[in-house]
Amino acid sequence: MSAESSERATPLVWLISGCSTGIGREIARAALEAGDHVGVSARNPAVVEDLVAEFPEQAVAVALDVTDPTQVRASVAATEARFGRIDVLVNNAGYGYVSSIEEGDEAEVRRMFDTNFFGAIDLIKATLPGMRARRDGLIVNVSSVTGYVSMPGNIYYSTSKFALESLSEGLARELGPLGIRVSAVAPGVFRTDWNARSMHESEETIADYAPTVGERRKLLRTTPEGFGGDARKVGEALVMLSRLEAPPVHLLLGADAVGAARGKIADLSASIDEWEAYGVAAGETDVAE
């Protein structure tokens, strides 16, 4: 943890998307237990009322389907109306889609991108006016280790997370001069219901992809109970980030995520070394003699 941390005299105010279960719920609980105020959102706010009942002075239940622009704006307005501002926006809502590229249903893929990527952008745009006015704020985009390493069967989902990583990197540079920090948090495998409730699959299957995509489907269906890290630690990590004056733009969580990213960097570095002479030569300008 960086030494560049600061103590806040007043609680932070969070708006978190996708709090019904899993990582989003753990982020909300960790922030509430840290004494902060939270707009706890879900498509059906009734499923988060237990958190509000447990922390009645700190939490407000917010109806939020991130694919609905009206609800996006209303969720920001409701959180600001209750607590006066939003200090931390967490874009957590998202789900997976298992399919080969060829098998993928276009409408399903577009719906997933509307949730995983464009929904995050809409929430950012709705929250930024207040953050800009205060010259302060933190935006956290919950990505995934698959935002670094793309594998057969997971390509559509991975692409949506690669996009979040790129968004975060550019946004950190764009908003830094305005006092607004941006972090992309990429968890590896944590114990949630992600591969059940939050995993969609293509209806069409093609036999040629059985050794690759088919094996991915089997793996996701047979993940043993208790496998992966404790999702609560993701919530604790985000509370830690919220206290930093200079949080990292990219944060990998879990040994599997760190290992996968290091492997990706090593492969990329080796490829650059192997093809460097050709690449440099291709960019040279021919000078007529």
Q: What is the pTM of this model?
A: 0.91
Q: Is residue 96 part of a domain?
A: yes
| Percentage of the residues of the chain whose pLDDT score is greater than 70 | 90
pLDDT tens readout for residues 214-263:
888 887 776 655 456 788 999 999 999 999 999 999 999 999 999 999 99
- How far apart, in whole angstroms, are the C-alpha atoms of residue 56 and residue 59? 6
Q: Is residue 218 part of a domain?
A: yes
CB contact at 8 A, 22 and 48: no
pLDDT of residue 3: 40
pLDDT of residue 229: 75
Residue with tokens 């040629």: 208
Q: Is residue 262 part of a domain?
A: no
Mean pLDDT (whole number) for 194-202: 65
- How far apart, in whole angstroms, are the C-alpha atoms of residue 215 and residue 217? 5
Q: Which amino acid is at 218?
A: K
pLDDT of residue 219: 78
Q: What tokens does 127 get? A: 């929250």
Mean pLDDT (whole number) for 270-289: 86
pLDDT of residue 218: 81
What range defines the domain where residue 219 resides? Answer: 13-253
List, by residue number, the catalytic residues: 143, 157, 161
Q: Is the dihedral of CA 149, 186, 247, 43 positive or negative?
A: positive
Q: Is residue 136 part of a domain?
A: yes
Mean pLDDT score across all residues of the chain: 91
Q: Is residue 157 part of a domain?
A: yes
DSSP 210: I
CATH of the domain at 99: 3.40.50.720
Q: Is residue 18 part of a domain?
A: yes
Query: Out of 1-10, 23-32, 119-128, 166-175, which region has the weakest mean confidence (pLDDT)?
Result: 1-10
Q: What is the domain count for the chain?
A: 1
- How far apart, in whole angstroms, are the C-alpha atoms of residue 273 and residue 80? 51
Nearest to 61 by CA among 74, 35, 80, 42: 42
Q: Is residue 99 part of a domain?
A: yes
- How far apart, in whole angstroms, are the C-alpha atoms of residue 8 and residue 274? 50
CB contact at 8 A, 223 and 195: yes
Residue 289 pLDDT > 70, yes or no? no
DSSP 147: G
Residue 202 pLDDT > 90, yes or no? no
Q: Is residue 263 part of a domain?
A: no
> What is the phi/psi pair of residue 29, to 5°?
-65, -45
More confident residue, 73 or 196: 73
> What is the phi/psi pair of residue 89, to 5°?
-105, 125
